[in-house]
Structure 1
Amino acid sequence: MGKVFQVLLLSFVFSSCEKDDICDRNTPTTPKVVIEFYDNASPTTLKNITKLKVDAAGFTTQLNFDAVSKITLPLKTFADVSALNLTLNGTDTDNTNDNLDEITFNYTRRTEYVSRACGYKTLFTLDATNPVVLTNDASNWIQNITVTQPNIENENETHVKIYF
């Protein structure tokens, strides 16, 4: 009798589940901004970034990248501005060679329904007049920034190019 009850209970539980009850990991959710790095001396040549630390004021976590020419970074879904600190040599043990550049993304947000299980995602459109701002200091390692795709709706294309 106990086994029959368990089988009936499991049947009921699984029969009440629908496809939308579990968000498939392949379902596109809020996209990150895709950034590619290029050689400033040869602007069509991709260049690997090494020992890059990315963080933001008020956040305790950081992202680390090494030996890559493409990265993805999250933007704030609760504000129209995201200021990120990109520190060259920020992941090595020598703090004297760190070179921090701050870039600010200005954008508008649009919320889009995905499904009952996945909820909503936020899509971004970079500002037409002032999309990405580099805070200038005496030793910027970033030389130039260009926007190649202002609509951040997926991670299948490059949105921003950074030259260094």
Structure 2
Amino acid sequence: MKQFNGLGILFILITIVSLSCEPDDICPESTPTTPSLIIRLYDISNQESKKNVSGLRIQGVGNDNVLTNFNVVTTDSIILPLKTDAISTQYKLHKEYTYNDNNTPDDPNDDVIGGNEDIITINYNTQEIFVSRACGYKTIFENVTITLENDGNNWIQFIQPVNDNQSVENETAAHFNLFF
């Protein structure tokens, strides 16, 4: 009887593993995953009319990184990821953001930041939902509320949920309306 060498055994194992894979072992990109919170911005004086905020910069509280796609932009919609391992997430929403380092990039002591920053806190309950063997679980957010920290100079006038007992289960429509 002929003996198998290491390479032959490896080939047989790879073949067995390849043949045992099923189509659901790969998670399709079209599969819905953990959704982000969608906020639409509206004019406070004409509450049916969407309104762009200019110079918007969004950053997580306690995080030095600016949120991707929100580093000084003009938009009427905000998409915010929520923490899946917590029951709240905080963001700084900075309207008309400007930054001047006074020609001393190595000395942050004389930096000047302009604009108006408001801080929001998003509170929620999380629930993990099984998607499939290949995709694993996704998190949905229930009983979502948003509070605005009042600093006496808020550019955000109020934030309203689209539905009572607002949940965030998909990314096909807005979850909250922000008026300014």
CA distance in 1, matches of 2:86, 2:171: 20
Identity %: 38
Structure 2 residues not aligned, in runs of 5+: 1-7, 101-111
Give 2:123's aligned residue: 106
Instruction: Please state if 1:121 is matched with 2:138.
Output: yes
Work out whether residues 27 and 134 of structure 2, in 8 Å CA contact, stay in contact via their aligned partners in 1.
Answer: yes
Q: 1:138 aligns with which of 136, 146, 152?
A: 152
Q: Which amino acid aligns with 1:81?
A: S
Structure 1 residues not aligned, in runs of 5+: none
Work out whether residues 105 and 126 of structure 1, in 8 Å CA contact, stay in contact via their aligned partners in 2.
Answer: no
Give 1:155's aligned residue: 171
Q: Which amino acid aligns with 1:120?
A: Y
Once the two structures are superposed, residues 6-46 of structure 1 have per-residue CA deviations (whole angstroms, 9 ceiling, x without a partner) of: x9888655433322222211110100001000001111100
Work out whether residues 99 and 114 of structure 2, in 8 Å CA contact, stay in contact via their aligned partners in 1.
Answer: no
CA distance in 1, matches of 2:158, 2:136: 37
TM-score normalised per structure 1 = 0.83
Once the two structures are superposed, residues 88-121 of structure 1 have per-residue CA deviations (whole angstroms, 9 ceiling, x without a partner) of: 123x445543211011111111110111221111
Higher strand residue share: 2
Q: 1:97 aligns with which of 108, 114, 121?
A: 114
Give 1:80's aligned residue: 87
Work out whether residues 128 and 137 of structure 2, in 8 Å CA contact, stay in contact via their aligned partners in 1.
Answer: yes
State how many pairs are aligned: 156
Greater C-alpha radius of gyration: 2
Q: Which amino acid aligns with 1:159?
A: H
TM-score normalised per structure 2 = 0.77
